Amino acid sequence: MSFFKRVQDKFAPKATEVKTGEVKSEMTLPSVEASAQTSASEAPKGGALDRVKSLIAVGSGKGGVGKSTVSLNLALALQKQGKKVGLIDADIYGPSQQHMTKAVRPTLLEGDLIEPSTYQGIKLISVAMFSNSGQAQLLRGPMAAQVIRQFLSQVAWGELDYLIIDLPPGTGDIQLTLAQIAPLSGAVLVTTPQEISLIDVRKAVSMFQTLNVPILGVVENMSYFICDQCDKKHYIFQQAGGKKLAAECGAPLLAEIPIDPRVAASSDAGEPIVVKQADSLVGRAFAQIAEKVVAQEQMQRGTDGALGYFLLEWK
């Protein structure tokens, strides 16, 4: 049985429901057995990432702060600025990109490659795409690492300027492993303004620093609320957590994103706000985030000239 089949079986509800009239296409993904010697500590092979210029993780350490919303809208904003963009939903606890984009399952190409799904011009792959129910059950560490390794090595990403990874909340072994196996060129941190969020986000900061992944910037989400009546920005929390965190890790504050009910509504409708309301404050905040991420990433790349992924065969 192929590896992904096994993953799928794990995800799948006991009795597979097939709606009448629906063509049920069993999707079996390429087996990893061929390279069964790959140990959990081994990095993914260059192959599928060969033409990916920059891999950026969106993380937080804290749950529910808007990582998935930021990942998707950042990806779309970069795309609107003319970049070639891909997105990996690595949230093995509760993948949400599938829900937000209604993207279809990827197709299997000849050989060992998976063709990613596309959505509004970006390439997309999600853990949820490999579950019959569209929902993931919790994957244990080594399994999660294996799935992500396949996302990095067996998906036909082609030529990309940016590949964004939506990380699961937390800073445990799983997050550490994911951040380790992906040759990240940078990380974007998401927080809310409250001091209490920072406790968890700081753990993510030190995780990235330990792995030598530069922090490209901090996004403060749900920063303020604009009232219909007075049109003023109400900083309900008044704690400026984003600014504080940015100062602590020496990275720029990329933007403050207001609370806007349309964010949730538009993602439930499968139409993210950057696409639907590009001119809203939230839409503009994302355009600004994308510009700053590009600048920061170029700066990081330019300064040290370090190799990202490398593989040397000894003769």
Binding interface with other proteins (CB under 8 A): 39, 41-43, 179-185, 209-215, 249-251, 300, 304-315
Question: Applying CB under 6 A, does 267 fall inside the site for ligand ATP?
Answer: yes
Within 8 A by CB and 6+ apart from 249, the residues are: 189, 205, 209, 215, 218
Paired tokens of 227: 């009232």
**What is the chain's Cα-based Rg?**
19
Taking CB positions, which residue lies at the least distance from Mg ion? 68
Task: Select the span of 5-13, 57-65, 138-146, 303-311 touching ligand ATP (CB under 6 A).
Answer: 57-65
State which residue, 261 or 305, has the beta carbon closest to other proteins: 305
CA gap 74, 285 in Å, rounded: 10
CA gap 292, 247 in Å, rounded: 16
Task: Select the span of 24-32, 142-150, 263-271, 306-314 touching ligand ATP (CB under 6 A).
Answer: 263-271
- Cβ pair 167, 175 in contact under 8 A: yes
- Cβ pair 171, 211 in contact under 8 A: no
Question: Applying CB under 6 A, does 65 fall inside the site for ligand ATP?
Answer: yes
Paired tokens of 11: 């995800």
Q: Which of 7, 11, 57, 69 binds ligand ATP (CB under 6 A)?
A: 69
Taking alpha carbons only, the member of 23, 39, 56 closest to residue 294 is 56
Position 304, amino acid: D
CA gap 190, 221 in Å, rounded: 7
- 3-state secondary structure labels for all residues of 59-71: ECCCCCCCHHHHH
> Rounded to the nearest whole angstrom, what is the least distance from the CB of residue 55 to ligand ATP in the complex?
19
Which H or E run includes 273? helix 273-276
Q: Which of 8, 54, 60, 68 binds Mg ion (CB under 5 A)?
A: 68
CA gap 215, 296 in Å, rounded: 9
Among other proteins, Mg ion, ligand ATP, none, what does residue 148 contact (CB within 5–8 Å per kind)? none
> Rounded to the nearest whole angstrom, what is the least distance from the CB of residue 176 to other proteins in the complex?
10
Among ligand ATP, other proteins, Mg ion, none, what does residue 309 contact (CB within 5–8 Å per kind)? other proteins
Q: Which of 148, 184, 222, 249 binds ligand ATP (CB under 6 A)?
A: 222
Paired tokens of 212: 């030598």
Q: Which of 264, 295, 299, 306 binds ligand ATP (CB under 6 A)?
A: 264
Task: List binders of ligand ATP among 23-52 (CB under 6 A).
Answer: none
State which residue, 29 or 88, has the beta carbon closest to ligand ATP: 88
Task: Select the span of 91-99, 233-241, 247-255, 282-290 touching Mg ion (CB under 5 A).
Answer: 91-99
Q: Which of 76, 84, 91, 237 binds ligand ATP (CB under 6 A)?
A: 91
Question: Applying CB under 6 A, does 263 fall inside the site for ligand ATP?
Answer: yes
Strand partners, 40: none
Question: Applying CB under 6 A, does 94 fall inside the site for ligand ATP?
Answer: yes
CA gap 150, 33 in Å, rounded: 12
> How many residues interact with Mg ion (rule CB under 5 A)?
4
**DSSP 8-state secondary structure symbol assigned to residue 31:** P
Question: Residue numbers of the site for ligand ATP (CB under 6 A)?
Answer: 60, 63-69, 91, 94, 96, 169, 221-222, 257, 259-260, 263-264, 267
